[in-house]
Amino acid sequence: MKPKIKVLLVDDSAVVRQVLSQIINAHPKMEVCAAAQDPIFAIRHMHKQWPDVIILDVEMPRMDGITFLRKIMSEHPTPVVMCSSLTEKGADTTLQAMSLGAIEIVTKPKFGVKGFLGESADEITHAVLAAAQAKVRKFQPIATNIAKKLTADAILSLPNTSAMVRTTERIVAIGSSTGGTMALESILTQLPRVSPGIVIVQHMPVAFTGAFAARLNTLCEVDVVEAKGNETILPGHVYIAPGDRHLLVNRSGALYKIELKDGPLVSRHKPSVDVLFRSVARYAGKNALGIILTGMGDDGARGLKEMKDAGSVTLGECEKSCIVYGMPQEAMKRGAVGKELSLAQFPSAILDYHRSGL
């Protein structure tokens, strides 16, 4: 039998430690090896037994989570899931943690924590499983009811006709999940102002997508925003799906526009990469480039195949550069990926695609 994933909890709230322990110990594939109220106590436990995954609070006494994370990732890289409050400050700090190498985010409110975490049990165990599969790199200075797994049919039906004819307007659609924040930053910061319009679904809690877009906007030449709905997709602009809405692309004349839709989880996610890719297949077809990056699960695999069948150019991140080779691998299995590239190759591939349509 495969050993259980050993999880270390580091949070100054006894209630949070108790609830997380119950959720993790109830899952057949994981167990809590220790629970500490701050990083100083955590270090003592880690000297006795090093964990497979750490769930780490951001704000704690004696040593904050960011300082502890930087120490871990520079000395002994370990998969870390950040346990962050649903506040603007919490979002900004957690994004800093993601840039240092944290893999996933688990959210918690200021009040009603016990009930909130209990309702989020499936999300929490999914985050731990994803982190356990991740390839972490050195930082350089479920015992719950699983909802029915829906497909993109729940939001947008399959097209019964081919996409509109080719135009000079081209767009890029990107889907990513675990490890995607770092991958997207790596790609977008390398793009010049003269780039195609880009739409992105990154699996991320709703409180963080706006802060993520704002952070990228300070680092990139292209304009990066959280999508609000009804925008025209413009060259030199990047639109990131909000964490609680599906992002779809539709067409108005020769222009492509963004539509945001509420609705059920698709491939267990909202926003869903499958929904984005299906809409691009329907309304852009040969005028689009689809890219699937690092992530756990199979969201985006079906949609990318639909894009390829509609005439889109399709690319997937190769296993070597992926934090988690899940989504790209599933897309490869379905024959959805025209070519695999390493993370470093995507900026030039996007620009080459853009120039070929000029």
Overall average pLDDT of the 332-342 stretch: 98
pLDDT given for residue 172 in this prediction:
98
Pick the range with the lowest mean pLDDT from 55-69, 287-301, 329-343.
55-69
Among the options 120, 176, 299, 321, which is catalytic?
299
Among the options 203, 237, 269, 354, which is catalytic?
203
Residues 6+ apart with CB under 8 A from 272: 152, 155, 201, 246, 265, 266, 299, 300
Ordered by start, the domain boundaries in the chain are 5-133, 152-356
Residue 161 has pLDDT above 70, yes or no: no
More confident of the two residues 141 and 54:
54
Query: pLDDT above 70 covers what percent of the chain?
Result: 91
pLDDT single digits (tens) 239-281: 999 999 999 999 988 899 999 999 999 999 999 999 999 999 9
In the residue annotation, 267 being an active-site residue is answered as no
**pLDDT bucket at 301, cuts 50 / 70 / 90:** very high
pLDDT given for residue 146 in this prediction:
45
> Residue 50 carries which side chain, given as an amino acid letter?
W
Token pair in block for residue 96: 């800093």
Residue 201 CB-density burial (10 A; 0-12 exposed, 13-18 middle, 19+ buried): buried
Helix (H) or strand (E) holding 67: helix 65-75
Among the options 120, 177, 195, 267, which is catalytic?
177
**What residues does 252 pair with on adjacent strands?**
255
Overall average pLDDT of the 92-97 stretch: 87
Q: Which CATH architecture has domain 152-356?
A: 3-Layer(aba) Sandwich (3.40)
Residue 116 has pLDDT above 90, yes or no: no
Residue 320 CB-density burial (10 A; 0-12 exposed, 13-18 middle, 19+ buried): exposed
Average pLDDT score, the chain: 91
From the list 5, 243, 242, 201, the residue with the least C-alpha distance to 107 is 243
pLDDT single digits (tens) 215-239: 999 999 999 999 999 999 999 999 9
| CA–CA distance, 238 with 159 (Å, rounded to integer) | 26
Are 5-133 and 152-356 equal in CATH topology?
A: yes
In the residue annotation, 126 being an active-site residue is answered as no
In the residue annotation, 299 being an active-site residue is answered as yes
pLDDT given for residue 323 in this prediction:
95
From the list 195, 141, 180, 182, the residue with the least C-alpha distance to 269 is 180
Q: Which fold has domain 5-133?
A: Rossmann fold (3.40.50)
Residue 113 has pLDDT above 90, yes or no: no
